[in-house]
Amino acid sequence: MIEFISQRMALFIKRLDPEGGVSVEVMAFSLGNRICSAIIIFVTLIIGIVTESFIPSLIGLVAFWTLRKFTGGFHFKSLTTCAIVSTFLLSIIPHIVLSGTVMIILMMLSSTLLIYWSRGSERNIPLLLILSNIFFQSDVVALAFFVQMVLVLIHQRDGGVEYDAKTSA
């Protein structure tokens, strides 16, 4: 669905500017990623408002995306699937309460996964992010980081499935 919409938008833009230097495929890919991100953010925050967990939802989004920016991770074949699964996970995280022990265990597991799967200096900033939660003691941050590191593990284990605008449209 997202791929279809982004493809249609790219074709419309190309018709308006046929001499533009960007191909329809590249435009559709970029538009699709932006639409997917916007849907995840918007729906997650709306669910947060409805369930009276707006701030924890916002914190979960920021924590997840900040770590993902540095670590990469698994990509679904479909942006629509990505939007649905990501929104589901990010909407549930603020409602899970962890004991202090479980939170520390999740932070240690996240750190271990990061150290195991990343190379050299690539792990410094993400490791600091994960370990900064020792100071904040946030259930939401611990869970968001753990979910992201599980997605990195899946990506590394299976070789990942990169999004391809040509095969997903």
What pLDDT is recorded for position 22? Answer: 84
What pLDDT is recorded for position 5? Answer: 92
Residue 39's domain comprises 2-168
What pLDDT is recorded for position 156? Answer: 75
User: What distance in Å separates the CA atoms of residue 42 and residue 75, rounded to the nearest whole number?
Assistant: 20
CA 56, 105, 64, 137 dihedral sign is positive
User: What distance in Å separates the CA atoms of residue 131 and residue 128, rounded to the nearest whole number?
Assistant: 5
What pLDDT is recorded for position 157? Answer: 73
Could you give phi then psi for residue 104, rounded to 5 degrees?
-65, -40
What pLDDT is recorded for position 133? Answer: 92
Low pLDDT (below 70) residues in the chain? 119-121, 158-169
Q: What does pTM read for this prediction?
A: 0.83
User: What distance in Å separates the CA atoms of residue 154 and residue 161, rounded to the nearest whole number?
Assistant: 10
* Number of domains the chain contains: 1
Checking phi first, is residue 160 left (phi over 0); if not, alpha (psi -120 to 50) or beta? left
Q: Could you give the C-alpha distances from 124 to 29, 118, 131, 147, 162, in angstroms and in order?
A: 30, 10, 11, 19, 25
What pLDDT is recorded for position 163? Answer: 35
